Amino acid sequence: MKLAIVGGGPSAFYVASRLLSRMPDAQRLRVHMFDRLWAPHGLVRYGVAPDHPEVKNCTHKFDQVAEDPRFRFFGNVNVGARSPDGFPHVLQLPLADLHAHYSHLLFASGCTLPALHSALSESPWCMPALGFVHWYTQHPAAPPPLPLHTLDHVSLIGNGNVALDVARILLCPPALLEKYDVPQSVLDVLARSTVRHVSIIARRGPLHAAFTAKELRELINLPDVAMAPLDPALLAVPPGVTASRQQTRILQLLAQGSRAAHSSTRKTWSLEFFKTPTGLDTAGPAPRLLLAHTALDAQQRAVPAGPAPPLPTSLVIPSLGFRAEPAAPFFDPALGHLRTSAGRVLGADGRAVRGVYASGWAAMGARGVLAATMMDAYGVADQIAADAVAGSEGPPVGVEQVMNPAPADDQPPPLVHDACAAGRVVQYADWKRVDAEEVRRGAALGKERERMRWEEAEAFLRGNA
């Protein structure tokens, strides 16, 4: 088995880990991982909030995977359709090259695009939460620094954990973030921020909150930041409804509110339940977010219930989840991710494509925490191993033989091999050098690490930094 993995995030590494551990005596097993990002670990590096360093502990396991001589990582390589803006330096590798040089293929490419709101279009006054996260994690496709020194009020659409991450970064005193993995350029912008209030708008009520109690507690406990009190009637559990333990804890935290009184702090935030945006009015001297009240129908879906007062705001940040790229092979527009069954990728006729698999968000959409991603990845790896043992007599029955059942050698495709020799591709040993240098630079500043952009990392790896 010579497996190519497209994507270098947690799902990709967990599949590789499971296969390498389940097949310790299979000397002919090779796993090659390709990622258009120059650094590995995907959302662990470029999605986890910097003040949640414990979530990144899984990278120790990923380092162990990379120590296996049967594994190789190739960063700065984009497989398939041309990369979006922000990746001018990547090597473009046709998908056909993987078909020709590998017996098996796994898509672990995640959901890399933000889900959009039909009433809001991207503009100077509206940007998706993914762009904000990319900015504070220094993602290669990050937008320019935000003019936070010109903003007073930010409105977040959606109430998942990412929305609360964004609110917390906007409201947290920069001095509390200095010890974490926050680039100095981001800290400089946050230090000049004039944002005073963040509104978090949810189309349903507290019982249907998408955030976790942990995230809510962190926002409530921010020093010198106050939460706007909620109407107690909003927190009442309807008759005939039994709240779960998680729901009960969230209701208790919302009733408790922040330690500081709402009128006593310079920065505040509010939860606006049962509201949804209907547009953004930018005709006046300041933008106004147009809103409608909502109510729950018999299926607990939020439906419009009349207009709500407009909300003056400086910036709107929709945080409504993520979707896979429509150009991805086997993408299903109705699903928003790849067509799969039990980890196997399906062709347009619904039959499994022999030797082609998908895991994580690429296969099931953007949902679930890291533990759920790990369990899904282990299940897909078990399926790959079972299919390999079954051989031609067992499932899946492919629509066509797109992979090469007998790859000629252990090397990556010639295009990648030559780019490695030219220093255009980042291998795992290169990453570990950069990783150590980022930690060293951070220690000199009294923080977790100081991140490099690709240009800095390239110069460092070439010995010019």
pLDDT in tens, 353-402: 999 999 999 999 998 889 999 999 999 999 999 988 876 444 444 456 78
Asked if residue 79 belongs to a known ligand binding site, the reply is yes
- Contact of 140 with 185, CB cutoff 8 Å: no
pLDDT in tens, 242-282: 999 999 999 999 999 998 888 889 999 999 999 999 999 99
Asked if residue 11 belongs to a known ligand binding site, the reply is yes
CATH architecture, domain defined by 2-112+323-426: 3-Layer(aba) Sandwich (3.40)
Q: Is the dihedral of CA 162, 120, 82, 332 positive or negative?
A: positive
Q: Tell how strand 340-341 and strand 315-318 pair up.
A: unpaired
Asked if residue 446 belongs to a known ligand binding site, the reply is no
**Residues 76, 79, 80: CA angle, nearest 5 degrees:** 145
CATH architecture, domain defined by 116-270: 3-Layer(bba) Sandwich (3.50)
pTM of the full structure: 0.93
Q: Is the dihedral of CA 63, 58, 379, 109 positive or negative?
A: negative
Helix axis angle, 10-22 relative to 370-390, nearest 10°?
A: 40
Asked if residue 43 belongs to a known ligand binding site, the reply is yes
Domain ranges for the chain? 2-112+323-426, 116-270
Asked if residue 76 belongs to a known ligand binding site, the reply is no
Taking residues 309-331, report their average pLDDT.
92
Of 200, 213, 275, nearest in space to 247 by CA: 213
Asked if residue 57 belongs to a known ligand binding site, the reply is no
Asked if residue 110 belongs to a known ligand binding site, the reply is no
For residue 396, is the peptide bond before it cis, meaning its omega torsion is within 30 degrees of 0? yes
Asked if residue 162 belongs to a known ligand binding site, the reply is yes
Asked if residue 368 belongs to a known ligand binding site, the reply is yes
Q: Give the integer Cα–Cα distance in Å for 321 and 161.
A: 10
Asked if residue 160 belongs to a known ligand binding site, the reply is yes
Asked if residue 455 belongs to a known ligand binding site, the reply is no
pLDDT in tens, 30-86: 999 999 999 999 999 999 999 999 999 999 999 999 999 999 999 999 998 776 666
Q: Tell how strand 71-75 and strand 77-79 pair up.
A: unpaired
Of 9, 15, 60, 14, nearest in space to 39 by CA: 9
Of 212, 234, 223, 117, nearest in space to 159 by CA: 212
